[in-house]
Structure 1
Amino acid sequence: MRWNGAGLPPPPALAPRRIGELLRAAVGLYLAHWRAFLRIVAVVVVPLTLLQYLLSDLAVRGVRVRGEEVEVTAGSWRAFAASGILAISSLLITQVLIGALAWAVAQAVVGREPTAFESYRFGMARLWSILWVGILVGLAAFAGFILLVVPGIFVLVRLSVAIPALVVERLRGGEALSRSWSLVRGHGWRVLGTFVTVFALTGIVTGIFTAPASGSGWLLRAVLAAIAQVITTPFTAIVTLLVYLDLRARAEGLDLETLARELEAARP
């Protein structure tokens, strides 16, 4: 597929990269499509974060400690119940966001401008597969952490590109996990180093936004937390997909033409 030059920068070449090169490519892709990425994330993260902080504040306000007795008002119980419902709803909505953002990043890689509508349509179409992958990864990692911390980290690294595999190759849950396990084999340390670097960077950005609001009212804390999450979430998704593409470039010589064909086949 030739680059059409339709006002957008050319997509990054699918060649094996070192960690620094991959992170620079991720930053470049983010800057080229930042409006689309932020829009996709903000439409979910902002309202959910505001609701979470509001309900948490309402729940805490209704708890009164008098000596050894703890009194919980009816309003506080309602806030706790609403928080539980919101948590379950957030779990499902977040899976849609994960799929939508992965699809958007993949579209950006092949030089297409991602849209929120198409991205969320994809996320909705693959919701249950994405949720199933998340559950399986969580259970596998939990089992690893019960044994020792190291096995848990090992499992998380080996399954770290399951979502991109599911999105790009239109795989089902178990197939995506197997695909990730196979692709990461022999590259675990490099993949681990990449994600440790990403989590450190996003943690710094989050701290810059949220630290000044420590001790402030719930609204300011919620707004700053939402801003931090809206900014950092796309970067993590971009790096995850680029790691997946890097692994395929090393193992299979994946190119943009092949990737574009796979995305067309995966389109809902």
Structure 2
Amino acid sequence: MSETPGWSSPDQPSNQPPPQQQPQHGPQYGYTMPPPPPTIKPGVIPLRPLGLGEIIDGAITTMRRHPKILIGGAAVVAAITQIVSLVVQLPFLSALTDVAAIDPNTATPEQVLDQFAATVPSAIVGTGVEALLVLLGTVFLSGFITVVAGHAVLGRPVTFAQAWEEFKPRLLPLLGATLLYGLMIGVVIFAFVALAVVSQSVPVFILATIAGVVIAIGLWVVFSLVTPALVLERCGVGTAFGRSRKLVNGAWWRTFGILLVAALITGVINSIVVVPFQLMGMAATGFSTDPAATLNVIYLVLVTIGAIIASTITLPFSSAVTVLVYVDRRMRAEGMDIELQRAAGHGGS
């Protein structure tokens, strides 16, 4: 960050003075081990390599120490994106209901095609607008939360205005990096899906599907640290991708395991919050088994409320975990704990 020392990569020049050597007192016989240095914890995590529990706890502590900025900001962004998405969907409800109400046993192929032709273009537009809103909201939150978490690691207070001022120059590069990342994953998935379809062979279809999923997961992990690298190190998009790959190198399985645990926690929280709203929406429809019943306004409004609440909790958590994984990797691979200790005012000793 621009005002916070300690985040520059090893390839960037540092304006910090070299650590002072501690004087040695008395003879050194080698028979007794010196006591371990005390754990330095100016913020939400100790400044040393972290365990899984410390990363999860650090993410939760970050949310607890900055509830107005993180949870409040996430609530506003989630509300805007979800409500606008709902408004975009409403004009297409009648057409989608007509499609869902088609009886495949009685409708002719021509009727089915005509109904889909009348519905698909508008549905694509609505889905595209919704996806764009979610993308913008997610990019903003992930980058903004990265700045706040960077301050939280050093135990430094930060206001919304300060965090926004630091993040604002990184917004467009982060959007570009996110689009590039999504394009990479999309190309991989499309290529293997196309191979599976063209092959017209069940074994090839299965193998291509598995290979596509494995490669997509691999890219997800390798480039999972692009956002904190780009925002905290203030580097370019290409450099951020290279930094993420370098930091994950040699620790792919550990990084994957931590991110998977965080994703499972996020999924559980999301289910706990969203499912009751879905049940209330189903109760409003009389628990109808008709697919068209879930396309009414009451059901969608209730599900939207649940999605807003869930996103308010899960988005800050998952973003904070990613930042702490980045910090942990830098402390393990580059000894950044010393640099952070000096930045936190502990002299690195």
The answer to whether the superposition gives a TM-score over 0.5 is yes
Instruction: Report the more deviating stretch, 169-178 or 213-222.
Output: 213-222
Higher helix content, 1 or 2: 1
Deviation at 1:107, TM superposition (A): 1.6
Q: Which runs of 4+ in 1 moved over 6 A?
A: 76-80
Per the alignment, residue 135 of structure 1 pairs with: 179
Residues 87 and 122 of structure 1, relative CA distance in 2, 3 Å threshold: farther
Bigger-Rg structure (1/2):
2
Of the candidates 142, 147, 160, which is equivalent to residue 98 of structure 1?
142
Per the alignment, residue 5 of structure 1 pairs with: none
Per the alignment, residue 331 of structure 2 pairs with: 249
Deviation at 1:54, TM superposition (A): 3.2
What is the TM-score when the length of structure 2 is the normalising length? 0.64
Per the alignment, residue 18 of structure 2 pairs with: none
Residues 258 and 90 of structure 1, relative CA distance in 2, 3 Å threshold: same
The yes-or-no answer on 1:46 pairing with 2:110 is no
What is the TM-score when the length of structure 1 is the normalising length? 0.82
Per the alignment, residue 109 of structure 1 pairs with: 153
Deviation at 1:260, TM superposition (A): 8.4
Output aligned runs, 1:115-194, within 5 Å. Answer: 115-145=159-189, 146=192, 148=211, 149-194=213-258
Deviation digits for residues 204-244 of structure 1 (CA, Å, limit 9, x no counterpart): 11001111222612222111110001101111011100000
Instruction: Report the more deviating stretch, 154-163 or 51-60.
Output: 51-60
Deviation at 1:182, TM superposition (A): 0.4
Letter in 2 for 1:55: V
Residues 188 and 200 of structure 1, relative CA distance in 2, 3 Å threshold: same
Deviation at 1:84, TM superposition (A): 3.8
Residues 112 and 213 of structure 1, relative CA distance in 2, 3 Å threshold: same
Per the alignment, residue 62 of structure 2 pairs with: 29
Instruction: Report the more deviating stretch, 246-255 or 95-104.
Output: 95-104
Letter in 2 for 1:218: L
Letter in 2 for 1:151: I
Please tell me whether the aligned partners of residues 45 and 54 of structure 2 are also in contact (alpha carbons under 8 angstroms). Answer: no
Letter in 1 for 2:77: V
Q: Structure 1: 5+ residue runs without aligned partners?
A: 2-8, 263-268
Residues 160 and 81 of structure 1, relative CA distance in 2, 3 Å threshold: closer
Instruction: Report the more deviating stretch, 15-24 or 118-127.
Output: 118-127
Residues 220 and 194 of structure 1, relative CA distance in 2, 3 Å threshold: same
Q: Distance in 1 between matches of 2:306 and 2:257?
A: 28
May I ask how many residue pairs the two structures share in their alignment? 254
The yes-or-no answer on 1:205 pairing with 2:269 is yes
Identity of counterpart residues, as a percentage?
Answer: 30
Please tell me whether the aligned partners of residues 19 and 190 of structure 1 are also in contact (alpha carbons under 8 angstroms). Answer: no
Instruction: Give secondary structure in 2 for the equivalent of 1:92.
Output: helix
Instruction: Give secondary structure in 2 for the equivalent of 1:16.
Output: coil
